[in-house]
Amino acid sequence: MILDKEEIKKIIPYQEPFLFVHGVEDLKENEISGFYQISPDDYYFQGHFVDFKIMPGVLVVEGMAQLSTILLRKKIPDDKKYHFLAYNLQGCQFFRPIFPGQRIDLKAEVLGIYDNENYKIARVKGQALVKNELCVQARFSVVIIEKGFFNQKYQK
């Protein structure tokens, strides 16, 4: 394993119970793979399909986004001066349900990073697999915006 949970928490601004990447196993220039181990006791199972417990799809996508943020923070110089925020979900397909106790293998590939006047947009393809079977696939964008500019524009 390249990064464990404690190292991940130093890179992205997430803590339990909203950390959906437990380890990073491979890190390349434009690709990253990691995993999230689901516990049958995870909080969301208390209210998500009470009589049919499956992992909420939106949280699987969140895991892909968190994984991609690890890669993007490694790629962007001076990453601590930027916010990395969800920008656009272009498409998402759910092929198979994911159940309590399963391990989700997550993959993210940065397809491109595009400069705008005041921010960058990263286009990403994410996948979630269980036992090598594709369960979820999504294409989404992450905006990389300088914290000072963001605060000036949105926190008035």
Separation CA 82–CA 110 (nearest Å) = 17
Is 48 catalytic? The answer is yes
Report the Cα–Cα distance between both ends of the chain, in Å, rounded.
42
Structure-block tokens of residue 146: 């300088």
Residue 103 pairs in a beta bridge with: 37
Distance CA 126, CA 20 (A): 14
Give strand pairing partners of 112.
123
Instruction: Check 5, 14, 44, 48 and give the catalytic one.
Output: 48
Q: What is the DSSP letter of 80?
A: G
Q: Show Cβ contacts of residue 20 under 8 Å, excluding neighbours closer than 6 positions.
A: 14, 36, 59, 60, 62, 63, 66
Residues assigned a catalytic role: 48
